[in-house]
Structure 1
Amino acid sequence: MKARDRLILIIVVAFGFAMRAPITVVPLIIDQLARGLHASVSNLGILTTIPLVMFLSFSVVAAKEMTRFGLRKALNFGLAALLAGACLRLWISWPTILLGTVLVGLGITHVNVLTPSVVSSYEPQRVASYTTSYSTAICLGTAIMSLLAGPLNEHFGWQSVLWSLMIVCAIPFVLWLFAPKSDYELRLSKRAEKSPSVKKGKLTDLLKSRYTWAFLIMFGSQSIINYTLIAWLPVLMKYHGFAQGQISVVLSCYSFAGLPVSLFLPRFLDGAKERTQAAISWTISLIALAGAILMFWQSQMPLAFWYYLSITAGALTAVFFIMALTLFPLKTTTPQKTAQLSGLTQSGGYFIAAFGPMLYGAAYKANPLGIGQTIAYVLMIALCLLSSLIVIKMPKI
């Protein structure tokens, strides 16, 4: 592997590490953060909702920025926002925490939308390999930072967790500064010099396709499961009387469950037939559905059940998240179209997901053991399955 390719691989891995940890680790120190802000824990639910609002509001904007200013400038802006937000959260006050969370969400939105374009722009022949590295880094980053949060909090104080997250955000920002221009960017520059009015595809064209909507529903369904579970599984387990240490390990299992999926699924999807891809969707959906149905009797369930629920939910969200990431470049012909499909899918998907933690919170307040929450989980699994079956049949655009 050439030095240039190694650098891009390291950058993609750094992107993955910074993708979820700045959001998902914060709930693990939510009690201490609430005390530091002199606020109730319930008021801090907005810190989970803000990133989702940024995702749904700016995913399409990130794709448009790439079309107008180029991949490099769009990512420069996103990574700078991510680092600035992480730094702001080191000053513990409501304004800095809120603004910092807004910027973190804005930065992650850009990285999330544009990384598939980075892969297709720099390594069009290695989409599966680089997507594997990226998705594995997302799982590892979330799991490692979740495991480190406890010891850091215990030995150095809860603020040290925020410092560690700032470092995770700083690394990709610095590395991207050294990234060379891709072959695709160089070809695009030469083409623009010869013909300044290069025709670009419109987002509205994608919106007319039922496959785009299937992508959106698949991504949104797995996102609503992911963000609702991350925000509320610790609270629900605490309600059932489990210790904080047990809850942390269960949540880490959720992240680690995605590791084998991220290691093997992208390569498998790249060469598999449609029937085989559909079999993957059916298998993981049925396995997760078993855990969802057992939620109707959650008050009688031992700790082993919560491990099963966490692992199967983690595998489910990983399969459909990675399926989307892998198929974005595989179903499109140019990095611009990749960014447009990725932007539209994630914007609409996160719009769906934004309602998850809020609606679950309202339902939990009314009845922590209500069957409505479980029914909603079953429906989300069904939507993931059905929409993925449509996405798999999508022709290349």
Structure 2
Amino acid sequence: MLPTELLMFRVKGGLVEPRRLKATTANLRLAESVIAAFEANLGKRRAELDEELRQLEAGRTDFKVLRGMAHLLTNSCATFEAGGDIEPSTVREKVFGLAQTHPPSRHRRTLVLEQAAAALSTERSLTPEDIGELLYSDLPDQQRMVTFDPPEPKELVERFNLAQAQGMLYRAYALVITARRNEPARYKQLLKYTKFFGLMVTVEGDPNYGFTLTMDGPTSLFSSTTRYGLAMAKFLPALLHVTKWDLTATLKPRKDLEWVDKSEEEWRFELTSEDEYVSHYKPPEEHDSALEAGFADRFAKLDTPWVLEREVDLVPVPGGVIIPDFRLVHPDGRNVLVEIVGYWRPEYLRKKFALLRKSGRTDVIVCVSERLNLEKAGVDPSDFDERLIWFKGVLNPKDVLGLAERLTGSS
């Protein structure tokens, strides 16, 4: 992401609009120039890269764009390390210790570096020049670029645009997302990232019309920090993998800027899946496990009017959300949810059954592998008896369909 000083936006009627670059020839050439500067400085000190970037920036009115691109490349595509096989702190300790034994003279530095080189030479012979370079090589501007994975110029422009949008959320204290019916596995990734970034989520809605996810925290808790807003900003690239959604964020205004309307008590930032921002997060796999993938493949070979849908439902429960693995839908409107429990860790099993119990839902078929020792895990599945399927090895979709028919009857 970008530091606050590199964010560019305007505010119209309380609505925040971040700066967004088009993939024009000029912008792509700028991105190409910044990338080329990094490539040319591979193996060199960061101070040399910074100097080349300053030369690129000279006379440009869009210097903030150049700095933003350089910041993103520095933090996501390049690796900087102190050079040499010896820790700079070790070199400094030796040099400073030797310096105390020599009276001030014009030859003092040379003598100290020569003696330090002789004392520190182990696997290879060090020169006084080597010692001079190692002395402060751990300082940021003296570190060398050891790796650089260059993006395409268009990718850098896209990353810059996303970083500007993320920056709008730094001061967010409430976020409302309307996620409509989506492709498989998208909801699960969405909830995974809300948990990973510590966001508190309230879920309402249904799979046919979509879900509303509200993420907020008492403003009194977040009035003096941007930590929650930063979490929302980090969450945004995950949201981009959801296929249809709208987002509205409530922000604290930047009263430190001279050009803003000081009378505004809050700002809004709005975004939709139609805005075509591009995520750099890895897209989710369609299936979480071979067990689920195998069940879906076997179901596809059956001649049945029932349709198997992948992770299209969010089931709110106190203290969490369940995303059942599948939803079975009949053309006459009947439907049931299917949860496959094949993971063995006791903590996972206890949490899974606790959430299923808290949900109060009676339309969830629970499929459990016989290899799991529920008793040892402290799990009693007896209250799921009418909706429980035990399977050994592979889950037979005919067993699931049979139970679905018994649970729902015919319309």
Comparing both structures, which one devotes a greater share of its residues to helix?
Answer: 1
- Which structure is higher in RCO with an 8 Å CA cutoff and minimum separation 6? 1
Looking at secondary structure, tell me which structure has more strand per residue.
Answer: 2
Query: If the length of structure 1 is used for normalisation, what is the TM-score?
Result: 0.28
TM-score by length of 2: 0.27
